[in-house]
Structure 1
């Protein structure tokens, strides 16, 4: 069946554009190009992976509903929908909270927090490995008989609601902040300041945070400015490193541990805990927020413009792929997914001005033949059109790429 997220993306992009224009109007810029493109890249790569694993979460729920449900509830009753939404929000709270309090779940969720900016592009920054643990948190709804249709709709509503709260341009909202997830509450959640860490997990309601003692009110900027990002900076725009760096760190600590208890515990301990042997053999300094500097590699204006056009092209091709991937054979689906993720990796190298990025970009331009060939073979795109699209896109981007490589002027520092 078609990927429904494709139909929500245009609305998200419109809101993002509105926020960007408002930033210029108010002369309070909250966007950094490389960071925003990296967030979009991670969002797209996450959706590509979901093509192959999204059935896991729903499949576990469906099995639990069929064999474990204690009640037979009907979607024709309004209160079933109300309980479904409320119950999903409660399950989301604990899922989100464990994403900050258990290393294995944090290893996935850390992707969303790795942005050092806070805007609507940050909302797009999603993990590609959430399927490893997401399924575990929602089956209790199946146990009480919440129908799968209610489960799907509740998940979409609560996920969609959270987009608008990723902004610095909406201030505190009084009583609303106390009762509901809001931009003010979510700014606290994304902060790495001491008072922000492990606070405000609610998806829609702040009820759960008040009940379980995790609510924190945002402090005025004049008193304490929120610093966004994670303890232990990512310092890369590589989507593969962003998704797997925490798993790599946990695996390294498990290998350094000198007993099996610590080798197992490291995966389920709170973030920051390390086996004594790992800390001794590979010591890491404590986090010092006063030394924090936003990661902004130096790239030229021409490179920035080229990367922007490349991301726009990848978004168009990616949305098209997500919309019609269900029509592709498995081999075509795998080929398209690998090409998109590899393309986003190449983009990340250019955003951070990595050595040899020009050669990788030239290889990528040649690889544009892959989506064109898929469109021709699967949907009958005329050969003349296919050739014209490939040659036109390649030559146009090649000219801008060569220009970007000749202009080393730094855009960001």
Structure 2
């Protein structure tokens, strides 16, 4: 198997020397190159195909943000990772939609090794020939919804006030109605009436509102035939999996970014299904038929009919939109988690477990053979003992929504 080519970029020679020493044990797995600046990195990439770029942010001349933005345009296949310090916050805002993964400096060697392994697995999945053939059949893919994009930009603005966030949502009357309808439903269990987007942001927080807006926009923008699949059931399932996955993540970590990524990935984990049903409805009906004829799971039937599963399609799309690695990976690997490397809890695991537990609580919605939790992965991570608590969390959340 051909080794992945990785290029590390930093203007400080001692940093590059440290990376060489730190990653020496990976020489048999990766073909590693080192560049002392953005211009040198681009020159190397013009003469050879690199799979991953790891760049420092602060460099003279061409900084990391400009470098990775250029690489995104000229070499879009390459996974882009940025090393940042605490003082780089403003610079990071320039790279939203450009960088797949941020790593804090100084970078822990083991964490860097895990990230390289995971991003390589993601790239293998996204470069699969079956997925490429399927994407070519889909025609024009949807763009990132506009209201969500405006929210992202506003949230990234220092000193932004909740009132301003609420006003962005309020400008879209249809979106305002949908957000308020959802916020006032049993799903969130808020007992006082919420009558404005600003109030909804105050009660639920920016991260939650952002995910709701994205999900609502996507499910409104992409039309599917009710003869193929019930739209409301797909939306309810997606949102519930997001909520359960978020709660599971909260039992394992207090990292707000990890928990937020988990909620977003859980809510969008069936995005590929939405795309396939809307674009290729007749072929997707064949997926349903196969699950019954052969007693196989939905992912297995999708792979047979399309050459790739809906998870890979969803992962490909959010990757195009510039979402970070943990979100892209969670959507892509949640249905085949045995292929996802790593030895720590991740959003990928939370979404995988939440999706399976959802169907355990709603067996009438299962199509084909039931999905099972991948116990070898839980055992590898030492988390098999947590499953009972996660089952209780899921049952409680789903019970609350029906009351």
Tell me whether the two structures share a fold, i.e. TM-score over 0.5: no
Identify the TM-score tier after normalising by the shorter chain. Answer: under 0.3
User: Greater Rg, structure 1 or structure 2?
Assistant: 1
Which gives a bigger RCO, structure 1 or 2 (Cα 8 Å, sep 6+)? 1
Higher normalized strand content (fraction of residues): 2
Normalising by the residue count of structure 2, what TM-score does the alignment of the two structures yield? 0.28
Normalising by the residue count of structure 1, what TM-score does the alignment of the two structures yield? 0.27
